[in-house]
Amino acid sequence: MKEKDPKITENAKLADLAQDKSDGTNQFMTTDQGVKINDDNNSLKAGDRGPSLLEDFILREKITHFDHERIPERIVHARGSAAHGYFQPNAEAKKYTKAGFLQDPNSTTPVFVRFSTVAGFRGSTDMARDVRGFAVKFYTQEGNFDLVGNNVPVFFIQDASKFPDLIHAVKPEPHNEMPQAASAHDTFWDFISLMPESMHMIMWAMSDRAIPRSYRMMEGFGVHTFRFINEKNESNFVKFHWKPKLGTHAVVWDEAVKISGNDPDFHRRDLWEAIDAGNFPEWELGVQVIPEADEHKFDFDLLDPTKIVPEELVPITIIGKMVLNRNPDNFFAETEQVAFHPGHVVPGIDFTNDPLLQGRLFSYTDTQLSRLGSPNFHEIPINRPIAPLHNNQRDGHMRQEINVGRVSYHPNSLGGGCPYQAKIAEGGFASFNERIDAKKVRERSDSFADHFSQAKLFYESQTAVEQDHIINALRFELSKVEVPAIRERMLGLLSQIDKKLAESVAVVLGIPVPKSPEKPMNHGVGADDEGKQEPKPLVKYAQTSDALSMIKNKHNSDTIETRMVAFLCADGVEGASVNTMKNTLEKEGATVKIIGTNSTVLKTAEGKELKVDHNLLTVSSVLFDAVFIPAGEESVNRLKEEDKIPEFLNDTYKHCKVIGAERDGIDLLNEVDFITTLSEKKLIEHGIITNDEEQNDNFATDFITAMKQHRFWIREKPLKN
């Protein structure tokens, strides 16, 4: 650990989990009944070549337990990774909420956070084009609060009733279970092309937000509008935002595809290794606060989960920070068994009538009943609150708690009325008493009917490079669609966001954009009696929002902390060249990996040993943020012999990452295609930082300045059409 964080040992949840930890070090092996085992290698047989005996309770127990090791994976968000940490508020939220964990800037609350992809199975690649889950469990003194969000602030659908349809459409197709962890197939786009309300989300999902560089470099969003309730019982609407300290960054699509092959655990490994090295990921928690009185002030409905509240309309107030500082001890016990629920709220936080949120409030307990097997899933160590828990819920599969006494009902006199209800002043939860006066209807509010304005806002807020990436993603996804009518419908919908966008996608599909797009079917596929739920034509949002672009986003940081730099080395590399660059990069918080032509140590030109982190055979440039070729004639000559080098450097260039080369190192660049197209002057402009002087104090800092730019988009050719 680089840094000892005192809060690791102070964390009440970790102390709670410690009671259940088991460690076999220096212990005898036993059966599940505690009987010491004398032979774990041979089953009991009638003679050494004879049949096994049913009597062998040791074999039976071992095999039976193994047979039942698996539980159903999550129906969505099956693939995930998690970490422990803490949350610390500042003084800002106090005036809006009475939630205890948001009051005292000197307090910390333990958290457990699980990041995930949505569509892929548990063993699928981390690098799928997909939304990422961002679920945070706060173990507060007043009970658990779960903020179960995503890395995208909106959702595909407006009403919970469409969720099973959406998920059936995006998951592998039911007849052949293909494709895995991918939306590029007919059923997904068939559904989407019939659901214009998904257009805003589609813009996000086709953007580079859906291929993050790291879980540590993602924003998180509560998506729905929630409520904060203060001591005076005043309600304010809130939208939750997580802002990563390292900025919001992504990879490019070609890189994502190659990472999936090179290291399908890319995000999981990144999170694990960062925490293990003491580089604790950190986010600020922010809220957009909207007074009750302003509920109807906007051109969109606050209850509509396909809409954002642009930061330019309502700025974000930072209310605290979260630090993840400890990896789980056991993946299954913690990451797999953790059960989040947007309905886990504490006094001071409440729901709104967002129809997607309302449906979620049912789904998350329900799903645990089949996934974890019993209504007692709250007793699993990772799920149990650190707040005291007493009620009259009893029994059920795998009950752990031993409730004493005769009484399991309320009201009672035999138990002295205990456990007793808490008054609001004593911390009892009371739902916000919103006035509802309405007819029972199966309808969608007219205020939900504009599906294109914010899709357009998002698209128009992107830089040209980001727009090109969206176009390319749509070209790729829709080219994988086999049924022409689906592609046409999609072009019709895209043309309502932006004509040029639709035309640009159409060029590659080889079909024209429909002149008058077929009227998209909507909400129950045209089943509403009066036709009043048709999507409205686009009306508003001439402005753009920089916060929506990862390149323009003002929250983005220019740090290179924790970024990975590959040093390409072989025997004869100049130790001084390696060390100067390494030391300067490490001072900035970057991580250097020596990539060698063998797996153990290299001999430097100075005759010293240089430890190799990875054999060139096992890595690829997509696993790094930048590449450096140190000086050393012999080293460079040896690297020239390696088949992998041209691909390594060409990919680094193609993915717009910084390349550095010193003296003889520059010679290696002559092995690659891109160098011929660049004049010496253009090298720096294109993020290729070279040094041919013996002594150049600026070189390492120039390399770092270039890395702070993250990518040199100038290398990408703008799309012609």
Active-site residues, by number, are: 77, 150
Query: Smallest distance from the beta carbon of 116 to ligand HDE, in angstroms?
Result: 5
Q: C-beta of 339: minimal distance to ligand HDE in Å?
A: 6
Counting contacts by CB under 6 A, is residue 690 touching ligand HDE?
no
Bin 222: left if φ > 0, else alpha if -120 < ψ < 50, else beta: alpha
| Dist. CA 405–CA 428, nearest whole Å | 24
The b/e string for 535-555 (b: 16+ C-beta within 10 A; e otherwise) is: beeeeebeebbebbbbbebeb
> Cis (ω within 30 of 0) for the bond into 212?
no
From 155, 280, 377, 458, residue interacting with ligand HDE (rule: CB under 6 A)? 155
Q: Please choose, out of 24-32, 73-81, 88-96, 559-567, the segment that lies near ligand HDE by the rule CB under 6 A.
A: 73-81
Residues of span 110-139 touching ligand HDE by CB under 6 A: 114, 116, 133, 135
Residue-wise burial string across 651-667, b where 16 or more C-beta atoms lie within 10 A, e elsewhere: bbbbbbbbbbbbbbbbb
DSSP state of 559: -
Angle at CA of residue 141, ends 81 and 105, nearest 5°: 85
Cβ proximity of 632 and 574 under 8 Å? yes
What does each C-alpha distance from 712 to 465, 556, 593, 621, 686 come to in angstroms?
11, 16, 22, 16, 6
Upper half-sphere CA count for residue 705 (Cβ side, 13 Å): 9
The pair of three-digit structure tokens given for residue 59, joined into one six-digit string? 């074999």
Q: Hey, what amino acid is at 679?
A: S
The yes or no reply on residue 340 touching ligand HDE (CB under 6 A) is: yes
Among 121, 272, 298, 364, binds ligand HDE (CB under 6 A): 364
To the nearest whole angstrom, how small is the minimum distance from the Cβ of residue 114 to ligand HDE? 4
Q: Does 367 bind ligand HDE (CB under 6 A)?
A: yes
DSSP percent split of the chain into helix, strand, coil, nearest 5:
35, 15, 50
Measured from each CB, the residue nearest to ligand HDE is 133
CB of 368 to ligand HDE, least distance (A): 6
Which of residues 81, 108, 117, 150 is near ligand HDE by CB under 6 A? 150
Q: Which of 129, 360, 444, 469 binds ligand HDE (CB under 6 A)?
A: 360
Size of the site for ligand HDE (CB under 6 A): 25
Q: Max Cα separation, the chain? A: 90
User: Of the two residues 97 and 116, which places its CB atom closer to ligand HDE in the complex?
Assistant: 116
Binder of ligand HDE out of 60, 141, 163, 528 (CB under 6 A): 163
CB closer to ligand HDE, 158 vs 235:
158
Q: How far apart are CA 418 and CA 424, in angstroms?
A: 17
Closest to ligand HDE by CB, 96 or 240: 240
Q: Which stretch binds ligand HDE (CB under 6 A): 24-32, 75-83, 175-183, 660-668?
A: 75-83
Residue closer to ligand HDE (CB basis): 350 or 651: 350
- Rounded Cα distance between 101 and 143, Å, is 10
Rule CB under 6 A: which of 566-595 touch ligand HDE?
A: none
Contact 656, 634 (CB under 8 A): no
What is the spatial distance between Cα 352 and Cα 303, in angstroms, rounded to a whole number? 7
CB of 81 or CB of 562, closer to ligand HDE: 81
DSSP-assigned states of every residue in 382-441: TTS-SS----S----TT------SS--SSS-STTTTPSPPPPGGGT--------------
Q: Which position among 83, 119, 323, 339 is part of the footprint of ligand HDE (CB under 6 A)?
A: 339
Shortest spacing between CB 611 and ligand HDE, in angstroms: 37
Residue 150 vs 597, nearer CB to ligand HDE: 150
Q: Using the rule CB under 6 A, is 356 a contact of ligand HDE?
A: yes
- Residue 76 touching ligand HDE (CB under 6 A): yes
Amino acid in position 211: I
Residue given tokens 């707040």 in the structure block: 387
C-alpha closest to that of 611 among 633, 564, 644, 578: 578
Rounded-to-integer distance, Cα 419 and Cα 415, Å: 8
| CA separation, residue 48 to residues 52, 280, 489 (Å) | 9, 55, 70
Look up residue 332 and give its DSSP letter.
Answer: I
Query: Smallest distance from the beta carbon of 129 to ligand HDE, in angstroms?
Result: 17
Q: Quick one: which of 85, 149, 220, 575 contacts ligand HDE (CB under 6 A)?
A: 149
Question: In angstroms, what is the minimal distance from the CB of 20 to ligand HDE?
Answer: 20
Residue 632 Cα to chain centre, angstroms: 41
Does 171 bind ligand HDE (CB under 6 A)? Our answer is: no
Give me the 287-326 binding string for ligand HDE, x by CB under 6 A, dash otherwise.
------------------x---------------------
Q: CA–CA separation, 171 vs 76, rounded Å?
A: 9
Q: For ligand HDE, which residue of 11, 17, 77, 236 counts as binding (CB under 6 A)?
A: 77
Q: Which stretch binds ligand HDE (CB under 6 A): 72-80, 101-109, 264-272, 398-406?
A: 72-80
Of the ranges 148-156, 275-283, 410-418, 578-586, which one interacts with ligand HDE (CB under 6 A)?
Answer: 148-156
User: Using an 8 Å Cβ cutoff, are 513 and 491 in contact?
Assistant: yes
* Residue from 179, 343, 359, 375 in contact with ligand HDE (CB under 6 A): 359
* Span from 147-155, 198-206, 391-399, 589-597 in contact with ligand HDE (CB under 6 A): 147-155
User: 291 φ, ψ to 5°?
Assistant: -60, 150
Binding segment for ligand HDE (CB under 6 A), chosen from 76-84, 552-560, 590-598, 660-668, is 76-84
Residue 241 makes contact with ligand HDE by CB under 6 A: no
Q: Secondary structure of 632-653 in the HEC alphabet? A: CHHHHHHHHCCCHHHHHHHHHH
326: tokens are 């400890």
Identify which range of 19-27, 145-153, 209-217, 684-692 contacts ligand HDE by CB under 6 A. Answer: 145-153
- 218 part of the interface to ligand HDE, by CB under 6 A: no
Footprint of ligand HDE (CB under 6 A): 74-77, 80, 114, 116, 133, 135, 148-150, 155, 160, 163, 223, 305, 339-340, 356, 359-360, 363-364, 367
